[in-house]
Amino acid sequence: MTLDAVLARVDTDLDAAMERLMALLRVPSISTDPAYDADVARAAQILAEDLSGMGFDATVRETTGHPMVVAHSGPDAEAPDAPRVLFYGHYDVQPVDPLELWHRDPFDPAIEEQNGKKVIRARGASDDKGQLMTFVEACRAWKAETGKLPPNLTIFLEGEEESGSPSLVPFMEAHADELKADLAFICDTGLFAEGVPAIVTQLRGMMKEELTIKGADIDLHSGMFGGVAMNPIRVLSDVLSALHDENGRVTVPGFYDGVPEISDALRDSWEALNFDAEAFLGAVGLSHPAGEKDRTALEMIWSRPTAEVNGIWGGYTGAGFKTVLPSEAHAKISFRLVAGQDPARLHENFVDWVQAQMPEDCTVSFAPAIGSAASQMDTSHPIFEMTRQALSAEWPEEAAYIGCGGSIPVAGHFKEILGMDSVLAGFGKDDDAIHSPNEKYDVESFHRGIRSWVRVLGGLARA
């Protein structure tokens, strides 16, 4: 059977595949720092050449920022009804500072042992070069064993994911017909737990607000004005304190409008995961779930919208004391959004709600809000269940549909601009130290990751 043969080829080719990954990891493609622009371009070039060599119609596509790599495999006359799918990954990486905390050069990758397991150590090993290469290597093995590439496949690799993706939406809008597919695969997430693969089917969105409350024209002496002049820190504290009610619910009017309850089936499957909230919190020195009192920790993280103050400042914050009434007080607040919430309407409601709390002599201003809607995948497309079964076949445990507390904006853009849902499947582990010193990717993740995609390609070929 073909699938077994391809899987066997993956196994025998693993060392060579790791060499190819390490060649890519040697390129310091840090997208946020212009000093590395040429390296980012070189990483794109390496990938396009590799894909072209495999038979893809692969090109490096310039943008006003870093380039995109787009590769198409074309149709197969023997499989005219094969679904069209798009694979997304990103080849840029995070900066490496603090460099002194790395125990080796972040761009001199090596296979090391960590906790009795082999790992690939380098910046980008997990996020996202290692992950995107699992798919590339799956295609390579497929081609080598079957003689042709999987049909109707587009590989779409971005070089700006770690720097806010400024070119992504314009590029997708300009090339919508070229990129549009039945479904996207995104390989930028992780396992649910050791040995437990996962498909993320809901991602929270984000709304960021920064507000400044102003009182007097200048900082005032508290001996002269204390008590008699309105203190903006007091007003800000009142606003922030009022942001949650005694049950942990966010009080901004309309905040929960349109927020759906998760289905009973999903709730059951989440409960089956036996998420250990105590261990999750205990790892960071906490013991009690805060937030909404009538929700489980997993429900809160994956499916409930939240409001958190990320920063606050005002008045004198140095050593000693300066008995001022400051003229201004500031806060940064981020809302994690779920499907059904409209960032624009939330912004309006939030502004109105804060404005209404301003006392005489205080005004509030807002920095431009930054919002992205949540994503909730429609898992009814059969490729979701096919993928889940493919992952389950490869890994020790059954694959789960899970939520993700963070935001992966590209999934939202695929839905909005190209009308396609995304299958978010990846093989990162919690201890991969992405964005941190000594990033690694388990050799197991890389190996089983390639084999997982081979199984998915097999499923697509049978579809």
Spatial distance between the Cα atoms of 192 and 163, rounded to a whole number of angstroms: 26
Name beta bridge partners: 11.
none
Residues 187-216 that bind a second copy (CB under 8 A): 204, 206, 208, 210, 215-216
**Residues whose CB falls within 8 Å of the CB of residue 286, separated by 6 or more in sequence, listed in order:** none
DSSP assignment of 238-291 equals HHHHTTB-TTS-B-STTTTTTPPPPPHHHHHHHHHTT--HHHHHHTTT--S--S
CB of residue 190 vs a second copy: minimum separation in angstroms?
A: 11
Which one of 60, 273, 324, 463 is in contact with a second copy (CB under 8 A)? 324
Query: Do 408 and 188 touch, CB atoms closer than 8 A?
Result: yes
Contact flag: residue 64 with a second copy (CB under 8 A): no
Name beta bridge partners: 155.
71, 87
Contact flag: residue 326 with a second copy (CB under 8 A): yes
Nearer to a second copy, 12 or 274 (CB): 274
Which one of 85, 300, 411, 424 is in contact with a second copy (CB under 8 A)? 300
| Distance (Å) of CA 393 to CA 162, 234, 276, 463 | 32, 58, 25, 17
Spatial distance between the Cα atoms of 243 and 228, rounded to a whole number of angstroms: 26
CB of residue 189 vs a second copy: minimum separation in angstroms?
A: 12
Contact flag: residue 429 with a second copy (CB under 8 A): no
Spatial distance between the Cα atoms of 28 and 25, rounded to a whole number of angstroms: 7
Contact flag: residue 315 with a second copy (CB under 8 A): yes
Count of residues of this chain found to bind a second copy when the rule CB under 8 A is applied: 78
Residues 9-48 that bind a second copy (CB under 8 A): none
Residues 231-250 that bind a second copy (CB under 8 A): 231, 233-234, 236-238, 240-244, 248
CB of residue 267 vs a second copy: minimum separation in angstroms?
A: 17
Spatial distance between the Cα atoms of 76 and 148, rounded to a whole number of angstroms: 9
Query: Do 113 and 413 touch, CB atoms closer than 8 A?
Result: no
Residues 375-404 that bind a second copy (CB under 8 A): 404
- First CA to last CA across the chain, in angstroms? 17
Spatial distance between the Cα atoms of 191 and 301, rounded to a whole number of angstroms: 16
Nearer to a second copy, 221 or 462 (CB): 221
CB of residue 301 vs a second copy: minimum separation in angstroms?
A: 6
Contact flag: residue 297 with a second copy (CB under 8 A): yes
Residues 108-167 that bind a second copy (CB under 8 A): none
Contact flag: residue 437 with a second copy (CB under 8 A): no
* Piece of 1-9, 177-185, 217-225, 418-426 that binds a second copy (CB under 8 A): 217-225
Nearer to a second copy, 55 or 291 (CB): 291
Contact flag: residue 8 with a second copy (CB under 8 A): no
CB of residue 240 vs a second copy: minimum separation in angstroms?
A: 4
Judged by DSSP in three states, 318 sits in coil
Where residue 247 falls (left for φ over 0; alpha for ψ -120 to 50; beta otherwise) is alpha
Contact flag: residue 292 with a second copy (CB under 8 A): yes
Residues 259-288 that bind a second copy (CB under 8 A): 277, 280-281, 284-288
CB of residue 390 vs a second copy: minimum separation in angstroms?
A: 27
Contact flag: residue 407 with a second copy (CB under 8 A): yes
Spatial distance between the Cα atoms of 221 and 393, rounded to a whole number of angstroms: 70
Nearer to a second copy, 116 or 318 (CB): 318
Spatial distance between the Cα atoms of 65 and 167, rounded to a whole number of angstroms: 6
Residues 348-367 that bind a second copy (CB under 8 A): 359-361
| Distance (Å) of CA 15 to CA 19, 46, 118, 123 | 6, 19, 13, 19
Nearer to a second copy, 52 or 310 (CB): 310
